[in-house]
Structure 1
Amino acid sequence: MELVRVRKEDREILANLLEKHLYEFSQWDLKEVNPLGLYGYQYLDYYFTEENRWAYFIMVEENLAGFVMVITLPEVHDRETDFQMAEFFLLHKYRRKGIGYEAFRRAADMHRGKWQLKLHPGNIPSVHFWEKSISRLTEGDYELVKAYPGTDYEDGTPGDVYFFES
């Protein structure tokens, strides 16, 4: 497994993977598609024009397995942060094999500092993955605030937010 920085010329590939991610996530946030039948990711182009955003493909044996997207903008503004996990996606074929944790660990190693990570509490597989992964990475030294005020998803559900250091 390796993380490979997404280049501007790979924008369409990332956009395609984001559609798969957003489709899967729509079962929790209930987001609708646009008139073109797409979810769209409004911040995609910023990853190629702003210095405080990083997108990486997760590669397994030279195959696309998913992506990691990191930003410096905080999820919640009343807590200091260096990085936020903006988006994280692993294709089903590669799940439950340690690849997701390894991608997360490598991203955290590349971006050392204080992190925020928000998740939808209804996304039970994600809840289990992040609890296990963050606990393992930090050796249990993290904070989780459930239903953090002002973090509502499209369906009105407040997000749970992890705070930790890498």
Structure 2
Amino acid sequence: MEIKVRKTKTTDSGTLCMLWQFYQYHQSSFDQEDVGTDGRFDIDEQYLNSIVCGEQECAAYLIFVSDQVAGFATVETTEIRGKEMPELADIFILPKYRKQGVGKFVVQHLMQAVREQWHVAVYINDGLALKFWSNLFTQLNVALVEKVEPAETEGFHEFVITNA
């Protein structure tokens, strides 16, 4: 199984928007969001397009497993504890590719490539994501994982990760 992480290109806009629909579907189990009359979740496709085109301070990445689209991740700058740092803002792996080390590979690729602190926020009601991150924190080669308490963003568990 070959895993690749690639920054999105302008031609990836439709792919990212569709994957974001799946992401919203997952989140709807705990945020109770409904789909519109068109059967789609209300996502800001124009904003996602501007990310893909490099017009935002956010970078989007597509994840591939054996050359098949397997998910996406986004990284943006945030301020936490009075300090700006990169945040692994979103990560979504299609169910077919979960529990195979894909998420761990993506996190290592994006977070551990840079020697600095990173921020991760997990929705309080997203038990699957919290379990994923809790397990992953014990496997990563990092110097420190600190839970931000109280969280600076309402509705989230927040962590600052200091790379080794």
What TM-score bracket applies, with the shorter chain setting the length? 0.7 to 0.9
The aligned residue for residue 119 of structure 2 is 116
Structure 2 match to 1:79 = 82
Aligned residue among 8, 17, 20 for 1:18: 20
Within a 5 Å distance, the mapping from 1:127-166 to structure 2 comes to 127-139=130-142, 141-145=144-148, 148-149=151-152, 151-152=153-154, 158-166=155-163
Distance 1:135 1:143 in 2: 12
Question: Any stretches of 5+ residues in structure 1 without a counterpart?
Answer: 153-157
TM-score by length of structure 2 reads 0.84
Aligned residues: 158
More strand by share: 2
1:55 is matched with: 60
Identity of aligned residues (%): 23
Q: What TM-score comes out, normalization by structure 1 length?
A: 0.84
Unmatched 5+ stretches in structure 2 = none
| In 1, Cα distance between equivalents of 2:114 and 2:61 | 12
What secondary structure is seen at the aligned counterpart in 2 of 1:141?
A: strand
Q: Which amino acid aligns with 1:163?
A: V
Question: Larger relative contact order (C-alpha < 8 A, sep ≥ 6)?
Answer: 1
CA apart distance, 1:146? 5.4
Instruction: Give the superposition deviation at 1:110.
Output: 3.8
Larger displacement relative to structure 2 (133-142 or 18-27)? 133-142
Give the AA of the match of 2:147.
L
8 Å CA contact retained: 1:138, 1:165: no
Aligned to 1:155: none
Q: 1:159 to 1:146 in 2, by over 3 A?
A: farther
Secondary structure in 1 matching 2:138: helix
